[in-house]
Amino acid sequence: MNEELNKNEIEQYFIQLQDTICKGLETADGKGLFKEEQWQRAEGGGGRTRVITDGAVIEKGGVNFSAVWGACPEFLKKETGIPATERAGFFASGVSIVIHPKNPHVPIIHMNVRYFEAVADDVSTGKSRLFQSWFGGGIDLTPHYINQEDAIWFHATLKKICDKHSTSYYSEFSKWADEYFYLPHRSETRGIGGIFFDKLTAGKDKTMQQYFEFVKEVGGSFLTLYLPIIEKNRNKEYTDTERRWQLLRRGRYVEFNLVYDRGTKFGLLTNGRTESILISLPPYACWDYNVTPETDGEEEKTLKLLRKGINWAYINP
């Protein structure tokens, strides 16, 4: 039986996390301010969508909080193993972030931390029971141009965060990120990865409370990981060619989010708010035909590093 946590406590943490990250990003940007829209889901729950545009650093960014609930659709019953004949409900809450910067030398960043539970009717007693609950999430970096020093620092910092909770987490979750943030039709990773985890549920090694502490650690790392990279790269000069390359790489980001991303699919299949779900998409992107980067150019160097299995955290800077 899965350990039951206080849903209100988890929800309140996610609300606070959204506030902290938005404030930190506004301060770092120095110009842009988040606009908030509160929304309600007819079947149950709602959220706060916050969008920042035309900042000094951030061209477009979204920081979403949501807490939704209702009857389990059929695809969720199959995923959680609830018999089709049983009535079941779900609760899902989390924070999701995507930042698209103006400068091609500042990378795109994504983070998501979330909690899910499914409740089913017990046929023998007629009472509801917690059927499954888990945490999921991750954080990853998508540079338009890969700066190896930044990539090494990003992963080494993530490893330290993971090691506080388990020495196996970084190797396991960074490999998971490599596999998840991958575009099979392009034979390339979306970026340099990071960590990704899903369906962390109580077992012989960890309790749900311990997983919650790990998720809080990941959520709290966002500003620590991203703000130094912003500060280092925000004032670098760039050319029209580099801007065009940035738009092409954003196109790859769009392809992943619309074709493969589980969060996008979950939101759309559970009648989530479309505008909030799609704030992960950039304001501008392009798909020039059959682009071949110049040999030994920075673009080609980046493409060669968009592959699985680079152990960034173990490379000596």
* pLDDT above 70 as % of the chain: 97
The pLDDT value recorded for residue 270 is 80
What tokens were used for 25?
């990003």
Which residue out of 110, 144, 155, 165 is catalytically annotated? 110
DSSP string, 178-216: HHHSEETTTTEESSSEEEEEEEE---SS--HHHHHHHHH
Chain segment 164-222, per-residue pLDDT in tens: 999 999 999 999 999 999 999 999 999 999 999 999 999 878 999 999 999 999 999 99
Please, which residues have CB within 8 angstroms of residue 242's CB and are 6 or more apart in sequence?
A: 104, 105, 144, 145
Q: What is the DSSP string of 68-88?
A: EEEEPPHHHHHHHT--TTS-E
Q: Identify the pLDDT of residue 19.
A: 98
- For the question of residue 144 being annotated catalytic, the response is no
| Predicted pLDDT at 3 | 59
Categorise residue 297: left if φ over 0, alpha if ψ from -120 to 50, beta otherwise: beta
Question: pLDDT digit string (tens) for 104-116?
Answer: 999 999 999 999 9
**Hey, what amino acid is at 310?**
I
Q: Which residues contact 167 (CB under 8 A, 6 or more apart)?
A: none
Q: At what angle do helices 7-29 and 222-233 cross, to 10 degrees?
A: 10
Answer yes or no: are the C-beta atoms of 58 and 32 closer than 8 Å: yes
Residue 126 pLDDT? 64
Amino acid identity at 116:
F
Question: In sequence order, which residues have a C-beta less than 8 Å from that of residue 239 and are 6 or more positions away?
Answer: none
Which among 66, 67, 32 is positioned nearest to 52, based on CA atoms? 32
- Structure confidence at residue 13 (pLDDT): 98
Q: Identify the CATH class of 7-314.
A: alpha beta
Burial class for 24, CB neighbours closer than 10 Å (0-12, 13-18, 19+): middle
Residue 169 to residue 166: CA distance in whole angstroms: 5
Whether the pTM exceeds 0.85: the reply is yes
Residues of the chain with pLDDT under 70: 1-4, 122-126
Give me the residue spans of the domains in the chain.
7-314
Contact status, residue 49 vs residue 36, Cβ threshold 8 Å: yes
